[in-house]
Structure formats: C-alpha cells, structure tokens
Chain A
Amino acid sequence: MDPATVMLATVVITALAFDFTNGFHDTANSMAAPISTGALKPKVAVALAAVLNFVGAFLSLSVAATIASGIVDSGSVTITVVFAGLIGGITWNLVTWLMGLPSSSSHALIGGVVGAALMAGGLGAVLFEGVIAKVMVPALVAPVVAAGVCYLGTVSIYRISKGAPKSLRSDGYRIGQIGTASLMSLAHGTNDAQKTMGIITLALIVSGSQSEDAGTPFWVVFSCAVAMGLGTYLGGWRIIRTLGKGLVDITPPQGFAAAGSSTTVILASSYLGFPLSTTHVSTGSILGSGLGRRKSEVRWAVAGRMALAWLVTLPAAALVGAVALSIADAFGGATGFAAVSVLAVITVCGLYALSRRTRVDHTNVNDEWTHDGAVVAKRPKRRTRERATSRPPAGGRSD
C-alpha cells in the first residue's frame, strides 16, 4: 500500500472515530431530560436516539463538506490539516466527556482545524471574521435564545395546566417529551453526521480519489450513520447525568418544555440559515426550565463550569490540533500519521482508564446529585453502596 493511501485510510478511520465521539457526546442533548424524568428508561432512551440518529444521517446531504468553510482559508486545508483537526476535536470531546461537561463537538472540530491551519499556514490561514460569525456569536446567542424560549414555555405550562391532576400532567408531559426528544435525535443525526461525511468527502477529493462534482459516496453516508448510531447507543452517561440531574432537577413538565424548546430552536435555526450548536441550545433550554419553575434549583456552579468549557473549547482543541500537525510534519508522510495515531490511541486509553475511577452508566445516571461541587459523582465505597442498593432505585420525579 502506498503512503498516500495509508494517509487517506487513516483520515477516514479518524473521521469515523470523531463521528463516534460526536454521537456519545451528544446523546445527552436529546435524551438527558427524558431519562431524568423517567419518561424513558436509560437503555431504551439511548437505543431510540441511536436508531433515530442512524436514520437521520440519510435524510439530507445539503450541508456536507462545509465544516470549516469561511473559517480557514481553503487553500491551506491539506489532508494533514484535516487529520490534525480531527485529532483536536476527538481529544477535546473525550476530555469534556471525562469531566461530564456538555460542549459543542462542532466547535471542537473547528478548533482543531483552526489550530492545525494556523500551524501550517500562519495567521493568514485563519479567517477570524468567520470564527467570530460562525463560532463565537452563535455560542452566545444559542443558550440565551433557548433559555428564553424554555423559560416562557415552562411558565406557560405551569400556569395553564395548574388544575390538572398530577398523574395526567406527569404522563402527558412524559409522552410529549418522547415525541420532541425523538425529533431532536433525528435532527442531530441529519446535521451532525453530515459534518463527518463532508470531511471524508473532502479527504477523498484532496487525495485525488474522487472528483469534486462526484458528491458523497453511499459507503461514506452509511459508515458515518453507523458510527454516529453506535456512539449514540454507547450513551455519554456522564454528560447525560450532568444535564439531566446536575444543572436542574427536572420534572416532566420542565422536561417537555426543555425538549420542545430545543427542538424548535434547532429546527428553526437550521432552516433559516443561522445554525446553532445543539449542545448550547439543549443546555440553555434546561437552564430555562429551571428558571421558569418556582422553587426549582439551578446549580449555577455547574452552569459556570459548562460556560468555562465552552470558552475554552476552541483554543484547547486548536492547541491539540496544532501539536498534532507539528508531530505529523516532523515525521512526515505516512510515518507522521502513524506517530500521531499511536499518541492518540494512548491518550484515549488513558482517558478511558481515568473514567473507570468514577464510573457513570445506566445504573447510576439518575442517582441524586451530590452537592460536593463535582460534576461527576464519586462512586460510593462498597459498604455505602450496599446500603444504597437496599433503597428503591431513584427514578424520575413525578412533578
């Protein structure tokens, strides 16, 4: 196999790995609220999200190949820059997953590409107006709009359905949540899988394996859909827990308001040409649901950590992207790609090993949130755990 083919294959595999992390990182966006309120059992929720993400990936191909357009100079985008950018995106996705923090996978990928392009072509390679317009402004707008919509939605819900029996309210809003969260999962599959399809198509074009007007091959669409679906099914439990339990203790009416607001804002913004991050929108909605219900506690310390993570996403991913490009360039060609891949695998294994210390999965994702300030709850010692298991399991709140 010639070095160019090895490099192309490495980029394709890395892009699919990014798609996989994108899937499990963003499961929380649509399913944190239904899981937290007990509308869906955790495993059922992630399975439903996985199927809908898989299906969603086939619905539209209109935004493929546009991930970094208008943000980096297209002349400076080489296959090495794309590869290093993906490494930056994957690394930041995994670091934030370990910390249980929702952050935008798209912004992480853009950050990685920006850092690699900066290292490859200097300041002229990055279009800073594009970074402000396509990353920074939407990052500020998304949570504010979503929080506003959800705040008003939550207030309306509690005022309008005040006299309805509690059981009817709980069941009704749980059913509503399943519908809106499903639509959001579908939208996520449609929007996010296309980014990876675009990257793989771009790599095929840059390497001369495909002509520019050939479109996205079916095997690319299918493999991206599978990677996204598998990632979603794995379930980013740490982030689901933070969004569903850490930020606000969500009730079924709040969960319905949050899912409904997120879905509306995402669909409206995608259709009207002002794309917003699903992560920022979902987080804003959950925050708004907490503000809209009296006596509901919003944990501002958790919100602050999330905001900090969002601020750091672009520079942190850019730093990793720049370092990855430097290493790839230092070795050169396929050897450089192999060296970066080995380092990336070691990093992934290290982060996974760290995650095993405070394991969060479908069995403890709905446990009560501890107030010790940690985003990821520490697993209790064996004796405490045995005592805890004698209690009935924590389910969703009724109202």
Chain B
Amino acid sequence: MTDYVDLRALALVLLASFGGGVGLIALYAVGIRALAVGQDEGRRGATVVAVASFTVVVAGVLIGLYLLVSA
C-alpha cells in the first residue's frame, strides 16, 4: 500500500474485473453460439452447453447480488 493507493485492493479489483467480467461476457457469448448450433443442427450437446453457460452466468449475477447486499 502506498500513501495514495491501496495496491492490494487495486490488484484484487483488476483480477476480479478482468476475470469475472470478461469471463462472464465470453461465457454468455458461448451460450448464444451454442444455442444457435443447437437450433440449426439439432445437436443436443450444443443445447446442453448453452444451458450450462447461461446457468453459470446467472450464478455470477446471483453472486454479484450477494456481494452487493453483504458489502
């Protein structure tokens, strides 16, 4: 920690923002892509991937809600 910046907190914010933010956004995109493949080609595996991706994203939103209430 310097006089002006709490470097540890900043590092954690960067880690959580880039990991969580980019990760969840990319996962949502995977869900959309998998949904498209499932619809077009009727592959059950793709639909499972889509459901799993959206479930993880929803879990991420719920974690965010928990952080908000408990902060």
Contact = CB atoms under 8 A, between A and B. Distances in A.
Which DSSP category, helix, strand, loop or mixed, fits chain B's interface? Answer: helix
Given A163-B33, A260-B25, A260-B28, A274 B13 contact: yes
Chain B's interface size range is 35 or more
A188 B37 CA distance: 37
Interface stretch (A176-184, A237-245, A370-378): A176-184
Interface string B18-57: 1011101110111111011101100000000000000001
Contact of A160 (B6, B30, B40): B30
B14 interface: yes
B25 A256 contact: yes
Contact of A272 (B16, B39, B65): B16
Contact of A260 (B6, B21, B40, B69): B21
Nearest to B16: A268
Interface residues of A, number: 52
A209 interface: no
A269 B9 CA distance: 8
Contact of B21 (A132, A261, A274): A261
Interface in A252-269: 253, 256-257, 260-261, 263-265, 267-269
A269 to B, nearest CB: 5
B13 A161 contact: no
Contact of A267 (B3, B9, B25, B67): B67
B10 interface: yes
16 contacts: A56-B68, A60-B69, A60-B71, A129-B3, A149-B22, A153-B25, A156-B26, A156-B29, A168-B35, A180-B61, A183-B64, A260-B24, A261-B22, A261-B25, A265-B17, A265-B21
